[in-house]
Amino acid sequence: MKIILINGPNLNFLKKREKIYSNFSFKKIKKKIIFYSKNKLKIIFFNSNCEGKIINFIQKNLNIKFLLINPGAYSHTSIALLDCLKVYKGVLIEIHISNIYNRDFFRKNSLISLRSNLIISGMGIQGYFHSIDYIINYDYRN
């Protein structure tokens, strides 16, 4: 089964950013995610610092059943990304490495959460693995 994992702005700099995000580079996290999924999923990774490129990528992949997204700062600012995700009919899992609810006041509100089926926040990179578990064990009768 194909799934999409999108990372938004500055997530390509994980190891270089504040330690609340990760001690690993996203390249290392990507390898861990592939290993963790144990070949049960074909994961299409996409990372961009550009809002329009993320939106274009989602629009080209509307037929994929599961979309995992760590929208980064676009979580809190992008009505355009939210509008695009409202067109997507699959299962949307929103992931945040840090706990957005105990950070700066402007990070507490995620516009993307208005469309998300599941929100994982504050579990570090484990949030990616929990989203994989959710997909592998998903009840397809829904």
81, 74 in Cβ contact below 8 A? Answer: yes
Say how far residue 114 (Cα) sits from the centre of its chain. Answer: 14
What's the whole-model pTM score? 0.90
Every domain of the chain and the residues it spans? 2-43+58-69+88-137
Positions annotated as catalytic residues are 21, 96
| Residue 107: per-residue pLDDT | 72
Residue ranges for the binding site? 70, 76, 83, 97-98, 107
Nearest C-alpha neighbor of 82 from the set 41, 51, 125: 51
Q: What CATH architecture does domain 2-43+58-69+88-137 belong to? A: 3-Layer(aba) Sandwich (3.40)
Residue 119 sits at φ, ψ, to 5 deg, of -125, 125
Per-residue pLDDT of the chain (142 residues; tens, 9 = 90+): 899 999 998 876 665 555 555 566 778 888 889 999 988 899 999 999 999 999 999 999 999 999 999 998 899 999 999 999 999 999 999 999 888 888 777 777 899 999 999 999 999 889 999 999 999 998 776 6
Residue ranges for the binding site for substrate? 70, 76, 83, 97-98, 107
